[in-house]
C-alpha cells in the first residue's frame, strides 16, 4: 500500500460543519500568530502601552502561544482524521507525542541528542519538571505534515522517511533562534554556532523525526495525502510565528534564513508537480 492509499482504520464521514474544522484551526493558528506579533511589537517598541495591561500582562504574553500550540496538533488531527480513521489517528497522536516526549526528556536530562538545554517557565507546567505539556503534540503535528510533503516527492519508503525528516529539520531552522531570542521558551547550556543553537540539535531533530515517521509507516502504513493547497498553507502558516518573532526582534538574517528553509519543501513539491504535468516529449535533452 502506498502513502496515497487508504491506511488501516475506518475512514470517517464528515458532515459539512465538521469539514470546516481544519479551516477553523488554521484561522486560530494565524490569529494567534498575528496577536503575538502585535503584542511583541508593542512590548519592544511601545512598552508604555503594554504596561496598561497590568497584572494581565503575563497571561496575555503566554495565551497566544498556548493557543497556537494547542491549535496546531488539533488542526492536524482533524485534517487527517477522515482518511486515517479514529483508531489510527489516535495511534499516530500517541506515538508521535510519546517519541517526542521521550527524546525531550532524555535531551533535557542528558543533553543527548539535541545538546544541553532546558525549558524556561514560559510554557509551564512541565512533565516530570522538564518538558512542557504542549511540546510533545507539536512533534506529532509537524512530523505528520513533513511526511505528507515528502510523500509527494517519492513513493519509496526509505527516501520518503529521509526527506520527511529533512523537512522537519528545515522547519526548525527559524524555530530555534526564535524560541531562544523571543520569550525565551528554552535556553542552551553553551553558546552554539546558529544564534546559540549547537549543530548537533539538527541531528537530534533528524533522528527523532525519522523514528516518529518510521512509526507512522509501521503502525498505519504511512500518512495519507490531504489537499495539497491546504497542506502547504498550514505548513507555511505554522512557520509564520517563529519567522515573525525573528523579524519583530530585528534578527533579520535568521528570519530570512528561516523563511527560505521553510519554503524549500513547498517549492520542491510545486516543482515536482510541474515536472509531472509536463508532457513526456517536452522534457528537454
* pLDDT tens-digit series, residues 234-262: 999 999 999 999 999 999 999 999 999 99
Residue 45's pLDDT is 78
What average pLDDT does the segment 209-219 reach? 97
CA-based nearest residue to 132, from 120, 145, 141, 123: 123
Residue 52's pLDDT is 74
HEC states along the chain?
A: CCCCCCCCCCCCCCCHHHHCHHHHHHHHHHHHHHHHHHHHHHHHHCHHHHHCCHHHHHHHHHHHHHHHHHHHHHHHHHHHHHHHHHHHHHHHHHHHHHHHHHHHHHHHHHCCCCCCEEECCCCCCEECCCEECCHHHHHHHHHHHHHHHHHCCCCCHHHHHHHHHHHHHHHHHHHHHHHHHCCCCEEECCCECECEECCHHHHHHHHHHHHHHHHHHHHHCCCCCCCHHHHHHHHHHHHHHHHHHHHHCCCHHHHHHHHHHHHHHHHHHHHHHHHHHCCHHHCCC
What average pLDDT does the segment 95-114 reach? 97
Residue 10's pLDDT is 61
Distances (CA, A) of 43 to 54, 57, 71, 187, 249: 13, 10, 24, 21, 10
Confidence of residue 281 (pLDDT cuts 50, 70, 90): low
CA distance 77 to 80: 6
Residue 70's pLDDT is 97
Residue 221's pLDDT is 84
pLDDT, one tens digit per residue, over 71-84 is: 999 999 999 999 99
CA distance 1 to 102: 29
Residue with C-alpha cell 504542549?
A: 134
Asked if pLDDT for residue 14 goes beyond 70, the answer is: no
pLDDT, one tens digit per residue, over 168-191 is: 999 999 999 999 987 789 999 988
Vertex 205: Cα angle to 84 and 199 (nearest 5): 165
Higher pLDDT, 46 or 215: 215
Residue 48's pLDDT is 74
CA distance 269 to 107: 32
User: Residue 50 half-sphere exposure, CB side, CA atoms within 13 Å?
Assistant: 16
Enter the pTM of the model: 0.90
Domain boundaries of the chain, sorted by first residue: 16-278
Asked if pLDDT for residue 2 goes beyond 80, the answer is: no
pLDDT, one tens digit per residue, over 21-67 is: 999 999 999 999 999 998 888 877 777 777 777 777 778 888 999 99
Burial of residue 157, with CB atoms counted within 10 A of its CB: 0-12 exposed, 13-18 middle, 19 or more buried: middle
Asked if pLDDT for residue 1 goes beyond 50, the answer is: no
Residue 181's pLDDT is 80
CA 235 to chain centre: 7
Residue 260's pLDDT is 98
Asked if pLDDT for residue 92 goes beyond 90, the answer is: yes
Asked if pLDDT for residue 272 goes beyond 90, the answer is: yes
CA distance 91 to 100: 14
Buried b (16+ CB within 10 A) or exposed e, 167-176: bbbbbbbbbb
Residue 13's pLDDT is 63
Higher pLDDT, 181 or 273: 273
Residue 16's pLDDT is 55
Amino acid at each position: 500500500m502506498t502513502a496515497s492509499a487508504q491506511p488501516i482504520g475506518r475512514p470517517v464521514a464528515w458532515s459539512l460543519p465538521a469539514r470546516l474544522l481544519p479551516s477553523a484551526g488554521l484561522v486560530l493558528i494565524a490569529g494567534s500568530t498575528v496577536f503575538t506579533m502585535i503584542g511583541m511589537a508593542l512590548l519592544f517598541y511601545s512598552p508604555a502601552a503594554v504596561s496598561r495591561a497590568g497584572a494581565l500582562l503575563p497571561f496575555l504574553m503566554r495565551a497566544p502561544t498556548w493557543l497556537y500550540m494547542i491549535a496546531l496538533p488539533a488542526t492536524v488531527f482533524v485534517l487527517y482524521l477522515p482518511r486515517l480513521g479514529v483508531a489510527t489517528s489516535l495511534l499516530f497522536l500517541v506515538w508521535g507525542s510519546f517519541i517526542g516526549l521521550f527524546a525531550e526528556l532524555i535531551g533535557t536530562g542528558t543533553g543527548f541528542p539535541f545538546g544541553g538545554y532546558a525549558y524556561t517557565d514560559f510554557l509551564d507546567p512541565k512533565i516530570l519538571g522538564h518538558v512542557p505539556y504542549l511540546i510533545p503534540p507539536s512533534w506529532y503535528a509537524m512530523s505528520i505534515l513533513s511526511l505528507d510533503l515528502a510523500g509527494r516527492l517519492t513513493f519509496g519508503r526509505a527516501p520518503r522517511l529521509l526527506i520527511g525528516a529533512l523537512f522537519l529539520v528545515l522547519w526548525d531552522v527559524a524555530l530555534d533562534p526564535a524560541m531562544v531570542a523571543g520569550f525565551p521558551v528554552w535556553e542552551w547550556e553553551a553558546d552554539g554556532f546558529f544564534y546559540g543553537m549547537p549543530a548537533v540539535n539538527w541531528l537530534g531533530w533528524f533522528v527523532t523525526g525519522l523514528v516518529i515517521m518510521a512509526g507512522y509507516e509501521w503502525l498505519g502504513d504511512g500518512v495519507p495525502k490531504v489537499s495539497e493547497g491546504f497542506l502547504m498553507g498550514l505548513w507555511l502558516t505554522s512557520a509564520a510565528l517563529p519567522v515573525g518573532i525573528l523579524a519583530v526582534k530585528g534578527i533579520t538574517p535568521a528570519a530570512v534564513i528561516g523563511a527560505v528553509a521553510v519554503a524549500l519543501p513547498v517549492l520542491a513539491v510545486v516543482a515536482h508537480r510541474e515536472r509531472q504535468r509536463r508532457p513526456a516529449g517536452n522534457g528537454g535533452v
